[in-house]
Amino acid sequence: MYTTELDKNAARQAPALSLEDSELLAAFEARVANDEFIEPKDWMPEAYRRTLTRQISQHAHSEIVGMLPEGNWLTRAPSLSRKAILLAKIQDEGGHGLYLYCAAETLGTSREEMIDALHQGKAKYSTIFNYPSLNWADIGAIGWLVDGAAIMNQVPLQRTSYGPYARAMIRVCKEESFHQRQGYDLLLAMVNGTPAQKAMAQDALNRWWWPSIMMFGPPDDNSPNSAQSIRWRIKRETNDELRQKFVDATVPQAELLGLTVPDPDLKWNEERGHYDFGDINWEEFYAVVRGEGPVAKERMKARRKAWDEGAWVRAAADAHEAKQSRKRAAA
């Protein structure tokens, strides 16, 4: 799964630099421009640290919240095999969240602070998870489109300039391909099933297509941090470049399924060598970013419930540890 830079103003204030800092900054910029990796104990500008902390923690939150729309279907999977696959995928998403929280923690923010920010509604996560998963074909569409979009974004992040983030992305990308393929496989089974099953697959595509291509974030001319993030090699490609790549890769896959992409303006442009596609409803995107997504409240409620109901397990583990250390001390 994936998130994009959602909080547009946070990285903009540039504090005054001392002479020493400006020398360090110049050395830092040179290292990054030279494609060197920055590691946790290296000097880095505060804005770089802030931007990355925000981006990686949002990415981690997205993985964790991303378990919810799929978890919704676990007990209703149509076969044991599909259930086992879905369970494994959801477990992976949890794992991806953990890799990413660890990477974010190396920048000096604790896990506790990040999780509290999420639960208090102060942190963002990918807009895509605030849409409901209404039928079983949605599980296929999420794997194919949502994870597909995530892969498109995460592949270049494997070379992002911050070492721990890049290493987490390598691990994530290795596992993500299974997510997309199982989704496509699920949809293949449905389009080759009864007419009603095929209609469910089309319905899922109709609802997930636009939110998926919005996942790449605002258009480049309204993405003020992009230039800075690209200069610092946090990002390697712009939102619009990645979005175009995704559309180009995905449209033929929809055709192979015999499904119609819900965009009347979608057309191959011979001259550009890319698909042209219709205007994106950015009002909807910004509304979802503001927390007005169809199931935003339910998602946070479910997340907090899981956290609160797991509290006794954490308390028991603490009590066990305390007892063991008392025993060790007494021995």
Partner 1 sequence: MSKDWPLWEVFVRARGGLDHRHAGSVHAPDAQLALRHARDTYTRRLEGVSLWVVKSTDIIASDPAHAEEMFEPAADKVYRHPTFYDLPDAVKHM
Residues that bind partner 1 (CB under 8 A): 39, 41-43, 88, 91-92, 95, 98-99, 102, 105, 110-112, 116, 167-168, 171, 175, 311, 314, 317-318, 320-321, 324
Q: Least distance from C-beta 311 to partner 1, angstroms?
A: 7
Q: Least distance from C-beta 118 to partner 1, angstroms?
A: 13
Asked if residues 17 and 25 have their Cβ atoms less than 8 Å apart, the reply is yes
β-pair partners for 269: 274
Q: Which CB atom, from 116 or from 255, has the smaller least distance to partner 1?
A: 116
Cα separation of 111 and 203, whole Å?
39
Q: Least distance from C-beta 242 to partner 1, angstroms?
A: 26
Cα separation of 290 and 84, whole Å?
35
Q: Least distance from C-beta 166 to partner 1, angstroms?
A: 13
Nearest in space to 70 (alpha carbons), one of 153, 169, 1: 1
Nearest in space to 260 (alpha carbons), one of 203, 303, 305: 203
Identify the sign of the CA torsion 235, 242, 281, 68: negative
Asked if residues 136 and 198 have their Cβ atoms less than 8 Å apart, the reply is no
Q: Which CB atom, from 5 or from 105, has the smaller least distance to partner 1?
A: 105
Q: Least distance from C-beta 243 to partner 1, angstroms?
A: 30
Cα separation of 286 and 62, whole Å?
17
Contacts of 164 (CB under 8 A, 6+ apart): 39, 40, 102, 103, 106
Q: Which CB atom, from 10 or from 102, has the smaller least distance to partner 1?
A: 102
Q: Which two tokens stand for residue 290?
A: 């503001």
Q: Least distance from C-beta 78 to partner 1, angstroms?
A: 24
Q: Specify burial of residue 232 (Cβ count, 10 A radius: 0-12, 13-18, 19+).
A: buried
Q: Which CB atom, from 98 or from 173, has the smaller least distance to partner 1?
A: 98
Secondary structure of residue 219 in the 3-state scheme? coil
Q: Which two tokens stand for residue 100?
A: 């990413």
Phi, psi of 234 (to 5 degrees): -75, -50
Q: Which CB atom, from 269 or from 324, has the smaller least distance to partner 1?
A: 324
Q: Least distance from C-beta 88 to partner 1, angstroms?
A: 8
Torsion of the alpha carbons at 170, 174, 177 and 178, rounded to the nearest 10:
-140
Q: Least distance from C-beta 251 to partner 1, angstroms?
A: 31
**Where is 267: in which H helix or E strand?**
strand 267-269
